Structure 1
């Protein structure tokens, strides 16, 4: 999907929808979206997903929700954009 769909709004909507089902591929989409946009709606969806992922990871199921590579890439882009500092901390502590 990342190859065929380039519009950030569509990608963000798809990722938000699939995160409801806790699909790990959404992190690749969120990372792609963050390269192009960072409005309040987008950031709020990503913030919610990160916090839910953190809560779920407390049950030692982190690999189900986010891979190590996805986690590292997400931390890097959030730091690069200087956004969601609390969520960076959560990701670093997973």
Structure 2
């Protein structure tokens, strides 16, 4: 049985917080890789083309999740992350495409 880590509701996603989360080049690269996937991706540092330690990766995951850009599922000892594309698109139409384009 999996559970979802705390994240803002769709209506509580704030534009300034999202832009601040996406302003970091590492988080932007993580987002690009997530956007290329249809399914949730593992939360391991070696699953992405970024040169950061696991603790730093955890920080980036938390920032993205708390901004409402991603959602994190915990399944046993494994964590999976997915892009909240639909939620961000509903709040700020075209934002992700503009940032990722």
Alignment TM-score > 0.5, same fold: no
TM range (shorter): 0.3 to 0.5
User: Would you tell me which structure has more helix in proportion to its own residues?
Assistant: 1
User: Would you tell me which structure has more strand in proportion to its own residues?
Assistant: 2
Structure showing greater relative contact order (alpha-carbon pairs closer than 8 Å, 6 or more residues apart): 2
* TM-score between both structures, scaled by the size of structure 2: 0.32
